[in-house]
Amino acid sequence: MTPAVSSLERAGIPFQLLVYEAGGAGEGDIGVAAARSLGVPEHSVFKTLISELNQGELVVAIVPVAARLNLKKLARAAGAKSAGMAAPTRAEKTTGYVTGGISPIGQKNTLRAFLAAEAVTQTTIHVSAGKRGLELALSPTDLIAATGAVVCELTA
């Protein structure tokens, strides 16, 4: 049980917990490897990235695993002048999850969340359940309800 799973259960949000083989992937390949292991299309698997706005506030960006986060688009969506990737140690301390297994749901400190617009074209999307090897399958609408995410353009 992870905080993400507990959070969804407490909120009564429907989801499916999926287990996959997490070994052997490099840091940049975790989401792609998860998609392959689960036998789901890559475009349905989303990664959770922790970014820092204006050298301060941390936010969550949820983007397809095969896409690159456009930091200028994130900054614009968040009403900030700039955005950069957060240091892994700060992301881990703030969310309570380890890098490569950060879930957008059930974080230790709730961060503002931004969801790539591509998500709403899917019936089901997959995000980390808070541990490498665990993935959540849920509707984009339910992910938005669980995170309060703003849907916006985030990819290049």
Residue boundaries of the structural domains of the chain: 3-152
What would the pLDDT profile of 70-118 be if each residue is shown by its tens digit? 999 999 999 999 999 999 999 999 999 999 899 999 999 999 999 999 9
Q: Identify whether the C-beta of residue 143 lies closer than 8 Å to the C-beta of residue 8.
A: no
Q: Which residue matches tokens 């957008």?
A: 104
Q: For the chain, what percent of residues have pLDDT higher than 90?
A: 85
How confident is the prediction for the chain on average, in pLDDT?
93
Homologous superfamily assigned to 3-152: YbaK/aminoacyl-tRNA synthetase-associated domain (3.90.960.10)
pLDDT, position 156: 82
Q: Identify whether the C-beta of residue 137 lies closer than 8 Å to the C-beta of residue 16.
A: yes
- pTM beyond cutoff 0.85: yes
By C-alpha distance, which of 43, 33, 15 is closest to 132? Answer: 33
